[in-house]
Amino acid sequence: MSKLRILYAATEINPFLQTTKVAEFLRKLPQGMQEMGMEIRIFVPRFGIINERKNRLHEVVRLSGINIAVGEEEKPLIIKVASIPNAKLQVYFIDNEDYFHRKSVLVDKNNQFHADNDERAIFFCKGVLETVKKLGWAPDIVHCNDWMTGLIPMYLKTTYKKDPIFKDSKSIFTVYNNEFAHKFEGDIIEKAKMLDIDDEMLTHLKSADFGGFIKIGMEYADSVIKSDEDFSDNLNALFNEYSQKRSIGQVAADDNLLTSYYALYNELAS
């Protein structure tokens, strides 16, 4: 049996950036899967707070230079890579001067949510898939982590479903307790659109908030996982609503974490 190929998309990863539990999870799980014989690729945004010199990021010119549409605007995609110290893992960083060069993650120095975080998420989701296409690397599983990756499962089921690179890919969406109250402005549906996507598919985004991205991810992913955290009443209500339509799994952050995910990946890919 050939090695399973797992693509991880997430908001952050240790040791480059840690603001939530996502960073720890992404540091532990891909390495564990690699040690169990799987082939791994990891994608995160290159937030400006990540020190390029210290972390030895360098641009991959052959992968850079694609333009990514966010609404009516097209923005150039820059791809950088770095290796995780003491692990045979490379991390690909999605970068763009307008979206990712400010020295902060989701909020500014006054703790105000960046107004374009929705566009940054859309750019990231589209950028990951376009880069994987350019790599010519067909993933069996695309494991999406946190709200910023929520559109990837939908793109896989629509725009990219006939693409040879993604035609057999299955997606997992893991939801974390990283809720925010900010409401996005502008026409988020127009910004998120791609080929083969009509307005109805993007209905959840009309709320223009955290829940919209989470609902889209849950709607289109082949498997939904609730992270091992305490969730707000708001999110628990969302899980209860979705559990009527589909099963929502939970993998405990214990000694069985790796074997549980190994089994889940194999089951989905079979």
How would residue 155 be classed by pLDDT, with cut points 50, 70 and 90? very high
**pLDDT for the residue 61:** 93
Structure token digits, residue 150: 């929520």
pLDDT in tens, 135-153: 999 999 999 999 999 999 9
- Whether 1 shows a pLDDT value over 70: the answer reads no
User: Would you say 177 and 227 are in contact if contact means Cβ atoms under 8 Å apart?
Assistant: yes
With 0.85 as the threshold, say if the pTM is over it. yes
Give, in order, the Cα–Cα distances in Å from 31 to each of 21, 84, 92, 252: 16, 10, 15, 18
User: Would you say 48 and 103 are in contact if contact means Cβ atoms under 8 Å apart?
Assistant: yes
CA angle 122/225/23 to nearest 5° reads 65
Structure token digits, residue 85: 């110290």
Q: Which of 85, 177, 173, 96 lies closest to 130 in space, CA to CA?
A: 96
> Three-state SS for 136?
coil
> Which residues have C-beta within 8 Å of that of residue 140, sequence separation ≥ 6?
4, 5, 6, 168, 169, 170, 265, 268, 269
Q: What is the mean pLDDT of residues 74-99?
A: 94
CA angle 77/122/56 to nearest 5° reads 45
Task: Specify the DSSP class assigned to residue 36.
Answer: T
How would residue 228 be classed by pLDDT, with cut points 50, 70 and 90? confident
pLDDT in tens, 12-52: 999 999 999 999 999 999 999 999 999 999 999 999 899 88
Name the more confident of 86 and 75.
75
How, if at all, do strands 170-175 and 141-145 pair? parallel
The beta-strand segments (E) located in the chain are 5-9, 39-45, 58-59, 67-70, 73-76, 78-83, 90-95, 141-145, 170-175, 223-226, 248-250
